Amino acid sequence: MPRKSLVSSFLFLGLMFAPALAAAGEGAERHQGSLPTNRHKQVDAIFAPWSGKTTPGCVVGISRDGALDYARGYGMSNLEYDVPITPQSIFYTASITKQFTAFAIGLLAQEGKLSLGDDIRKYLPEMPDYGKTITIAHLMHHTNGLREQGQLLNLAGWRGDDLYTEADVLWALTRQRGLNFAPGSEIVYGNAAYTLLGVIVRRVSGKSLRAFADERIFKPLGMADTHFYDDHTELVPRRASAYTPREGGGWRISVPHNDSTKLFTTIVDLLKWEQNLLDARVGGPELIALLQTSGRLNNGTATLYGGGLHLEDHRGLRMVGHDGMDGGYRTDAILFPDQRLAIVALCNNGTIAPSDLTRKVAEVYLGELLKNVMPPAVKVPEAELSALVGNYWSPLTDAVVRLEVKDGALRQVGVPTAFVPIGNGAFRPGESMHVWRFSKPVANAPHELSIKDTWPTTRDFIRMTAPTPTDSALASFAGKYRSDEVDMTYTVRVADGKLVIRWPRRDEVVLDAVGGDRFVGSLGTVTFTRAASGGIDGLTISHRRLRRLRAERLVGG
């Protein structure tokens, strides 16, 4: 950024945060310990790879005790017009939006206009009756079992950059005959629940989510550059475009098109919101506490997800926050409540992982307080790694993971991240705290694998031993399959020795055989089902947030 523009930005931001400046300083030092005097240069170094004029990048904002400590843009907001990113650039925040929707629901609950224990069909009577109650709390905490909206629309023929509306999401959700799991029994993160929460806000308050949030959240907090975006044709001054790499080099525009609960904001405004999570100026302490209280499964297990906020222990310190990803937008906002430190990164480059960047910034500011909790690597002979290679299937979710040894390391097929052995049959993917644990081999029994990620529900897998179909047997799977739940007919055929599946307005998807009647492709796991006679009578499609969507084989298909 030109020096003149940067200075102007800081003058502007200083005015925006002036009311909090006097109260900062001493309190922040007390909570955070001594801060490096060159911390801003260290932050610049973290974001340096995206500071050029030919790349989209990020803006970062850091506040301590409500006082702005640093804000700067790196890279370009718009590559076509050579517009740089600045602290005033407006970004689509993707799933950071969820905490504002949850807050709106909490405001209505405070006023007695709804209860978190209410059956959602009280406000959404068009939703199917699954025989088990889904509550507003189930929606808020991702324990509802609903299938993911984006995957349903994909299977219904929507392309990735198609416009979709709230009405389209309701169309898909109201057609579903089944759930991923019984409400309250598991947690699976998804977007459908928060779309429905936005609908409930409108139906209960009589105002759109946009109007309600403007009146009750954004204006009281002085978030003048923040709004729920409910019209994809609306002009948004200072909006950053978003980009993903183009095959062969360069960039392509990657801006999502939907009119359903999209939040546009700046780091300036988001830092004001982070401060409200500390001082509860809007909503009061009880509502702020609600957002930061974990949901629980039916068995009492804490989900570590509150009201649109992940509740984490980051290297020994309490941290709340949320990330977001849609199109080429990548975002992350984290808060260390006990240290009163907030860090926000908003990016328009689909190759960036802002969650990694915000945690590197946290290390600059909180380094002496952070514990080293990463399990150390241990050496494992490559022969032992090779013994773990194979396809693993989850009876619970119908998901399949494929493992190979490549460049001397165990890794998922097609995924660059190597697994790091940490002892006793356990591995961590790269520098994450997730744990993939293999059971010790038992005679005449397949290897088993359990995956523990950020969620409390461990997923168990069994190594598949069924042979893959012969080339001649593949033809028996070909035909047409109909799913009324997404109003779509799928065509399965054999091409170049492999099964492929396609449906209107979508590219053909190659299905790789992994054992028996089970195949995998970019849309997830496709499992063919058989009638009592042994003939194939249908298929199911499963993905991380969608389980066993069924399509019946058409007679003569």
Mind listing the pLDDT tens digit for each residue in 453-511? 988 888 999 999 999 999 899 999 999 999 999 999 999 999 999 999 999 998 899 99
Q: Is 90 exceeded by the pLDDT of residue 7?
A: no
> Model confidence over 360-385: pLDDT tens digits?
999 999 999 999 999 999 999 999 99
pLDDT at 4: 36
Instruction: Give how far Cα 291 sits from Cα of 286, 294, 387, Å.
Output: 9, 8, 45
- Measured CA to CA, the distance from residue 59 to residue 75 in angstroms comes to 8
pLDDT over 70 percentage in the chain:
94
Band (pLDDT 50/70/90 cuts) for residue 231 is: confident
Non-local (6+) Cβ contacts of 428 within 8 A are 374, 375, 419, 420, 422, 434, 435, 436
Instruction: Give how far Cα 405 sits from Cα of 382, 383, 385, 441, Å.
Output: 8, 10, 7, 18
pLDDT at 556: 76
Q: What is the mean pLDDT of residues 200-209?
A: 97
Band (pLDDT 50/70/90 cuts) for residue 33 is: low
Angle 43-46-50 from CA coordinates, rounded to 5°: 115
pLDDT at 28: 42
pLDDT at 557: 64
Q: What is the mean pLDDT of residues 202-208?
A: 97
pLDDT at 527: 98
- Measured CA to CA, the distance from residue 222 to residue 13 in angstroms comes to 13
Mean pLDDT of the chain: 92
Band (pLDDT 50/70/90 cuts) for residue 116 is: very high
Q: Is 50 exceeded by the pLDDT of residue 318?
A: yes
As a whole number of Å, the CA-based R_g of the chain is 25
Type of residue numbered 37? T
Q: Is 80 exceeded by the pLDDT of residue 32?
A: no
> Model confidence over 120-162: pLDDT tens digits?
999 999 999 999 999 999 999 999 999 999 999 999 999 988 8
> Model confidence over 499-542: pLDDT tens digits?
999 999 988 999 999 999 999 999 999 999 999 999 999 999 99
3 state SS of 127: coil
- Measured CA to CA, the distance from residue 55 to residue 469 in angstroms comes to 46
User: Which residues are registered as beta bridge partners of 216?
Assistant: none
Q: Is 80 exceeded by the pLDDT of residue 26?
A: no
User: Which residues are registered as beta bridge partners of 509?
Assistant: 501
Report the relative pairing of strands 459-463 and 251-253 from DSSP bridges.
unpaired
Check residue 117 and report its DSSP letter.
T
Q: Is 60 exceeded by the pLDDT of residue 1?
A: no
> Do 282 and 426 meet the contact criterion of CB atoms below 8 Å apart?
no
Burial bucket for residue 263 (CB in 10 Å: 0-12, 13-18, 19+): buried
Band (pLDDT 50/70/90 cuts) for residue 359 is: very high
Non-local (6+) Cβ contacts of 140 within 8 A are 102, 105, 116, 193, 197, 295, 307, 308
HEC string of 442-501? CCCCCCEEEEECCCCCCEEEEECCCCCCCCHHHHHHCEEEEECCCCEEEEEEEECCEEEE
Check residue 10 and report its DSSP letter.
H
Check residue 52 and report its DSSP letter.
S
Range 363-366 contact pairs with CB under 8 angstroms and sequence separation of 24 or more: 364/36, 364/39, 364/42, 364/43, 364/46, 365/32, 365/35, 365/39, 365/62, 365/64, 365/341, 366/32, 366/33, 366/317, 366/336, 366/339, 366/341
For tokens 């925006």, what's the residue? 16
Full-model pTM:
0.92
- Measured CA to CA, the distance from residue 484 to residue 55 in angstroms comes to 44
Q: Minimum mean pLDDT among 10-19, 31-40, 270-279, 472-481: which range?
A: 10-19
Q: Which two tokens stand for residue 342?
A: 């907030």
